Amino acid sequence: METVLQIIVVLVLIIVVILLVFQPRRSEAFALPHNYQELLNDYVLFYSNLKEEEKKSFEGRLEKFLAAVKITGANAEVEDLDRILIGAAAVIPVYFIPDWEYVNLREVLVYPGNFNHDYEQHGNERMVSGMVGTGGMENVMILSKWELRQGFINSNNTHNTAIHEFIHLIDKMDGSLDGVPELLLERKYVTEWKELLEATMHSIRRGESDINPYGATSPVECFAVAAEYFFEKPEAFRAAHPALHSMLQRIFIRK
Ligand SMILES: [Zn+2]
């Protein structure tokens, strides 16, 4: 009887060891916060305008993004809301593009406020609110927590820093950050798109456009600020910039 008991104990121990060794690694598992739908409805206009089943698909994309990309605070506390807003900014531009993955993004660093071009948070020249890293910071995005939240809280303007940075990532994914998202824009439209960006930059410089003046600095920034406006205020953008609107529709909505 005793030996039977010993055998059972040994067998149980073996099973426990096997379960411990072969259990799926879940240390990095990500779970959406319990109130994620509430946060999305309260802060993300794009999401709250979706139909119920579209919301489900948005949530699936959001969860997949947040499971794949690390979000780290640099002197800033990353709260559930920040994670949800970063995920939303990632999903919004590619919501209509099935199976899109940001293969060029590994980590998002969240700074409390603005920083300079050397990723420093102190000093005089703190003017950058978001950035897609290069060199040693390749595949890293930096966002200011304050600007991240402003982009969603203040739905009365056409700015959204996080969406702006994801547009740069999309632009960059074809190998060149040049204002032309080759992966999403059919080749036959590339010349027209470049001309449209140039024309837009001219009209900004002449003071004849309501597009963020920062867009006049380069085609790269022109594409990013126009896309921010397109996603933040679609109807106003369509009315004020029909040609740009239909081209961005072609790039992001694809119908
Ligand atoms: Zn930019």
Query: Given a cut of 70, is residue 25 above it in pLDDT?
Result: no
Mean pLDDT for 1-24 is 74
Q: What is the mean pLDDT of the chain?
A: 89
Query: Given a cut of 70, is residue 7 above it in pLDDT?
Result: yes
To 5 degrees, how large is the angle CA 102–CA 95–CA 253?
A: 115
The CA 130 to ligand 1 mean position distance, Å, reads 7
CB 62 within 8 A of CB 92: no
Which ranges in 114-160 belong to alpha helices (H)? 145-153
pLDDT at 23: 58
Cβ < 5 A residues, ion ligand 1: 221, 224
The CA 131 to ligand 1 mean position distance, Å, reads 7
pLDDT at 132: 83
The CA 165 to ligand 1 mean position distance, Å, reads 6
The CA 199 to ligand 1 mean position distance, Å, reads 19
For residues 141 and 123, what is the distance between their CA atoms, to the nearest angstrom? 21
The CA 19 to ligand 1 mean position distance, Å, reads 49
The CA 41 to ligand 1 mean position distance, Å, reads 27
The CA 181 to ligand 1 mean position distance, Å, reads 14
pLDDT tens digits along 128-177: 777 887 777 889 999 999 999 999 997 778 999 999 999 999 999 999 99
CB 123 within 8 A of CB 116: yes
Q: pLDDT-derived band of residue 127, with 50, 70 and 90 as boundaries?
A: low
The CA 29 to ligand 1 mean position distance, Å, reads 31
Q: Which residues of 14-33 are buried (b: 16+ CB within 10 A; e: fewer)?
A: eeeeeeeeeeeeeeeeeebe
For residues 81 and 113, what is the distance between their CA atoms, to the nearest angstrom? 16
The CA 50 to ligand 1 mean position distance, Å, reads 27
The CA 14 to ligand 1 mean position distance, Å, reads 57
Cα 94 to Cα 30, 53, 86, 110, 132: the distances in Å are 21, 17, 13, 22, 17
With CA atoms as reference, report the closest residue to 65 among 173, 180, 138, 166: 166
What's the N-to-C CA distance of the chain in angstroms?
Answer: 74
How many H helices and E strands in the chain? 11, 4
Cα 135 to Cα 53, 140, 179: the distances in Å are 41, 10, 20
The CA 201 to ligand 1 mean position distance, Å, reads 14
Has this prediction a pTM greater than 0.95?
A: no
Element (H, E) at 72: strand 70-73
Mean pLDDT for 97-118 is 87
Angle (deg, nearest 10), helices 161-172 and 80-94: 50
The CA 68 to ligand 1 mean position distance, Å, reads 23
pLDDT at 129: 75
Mean pLDDT for 9-15 is 80
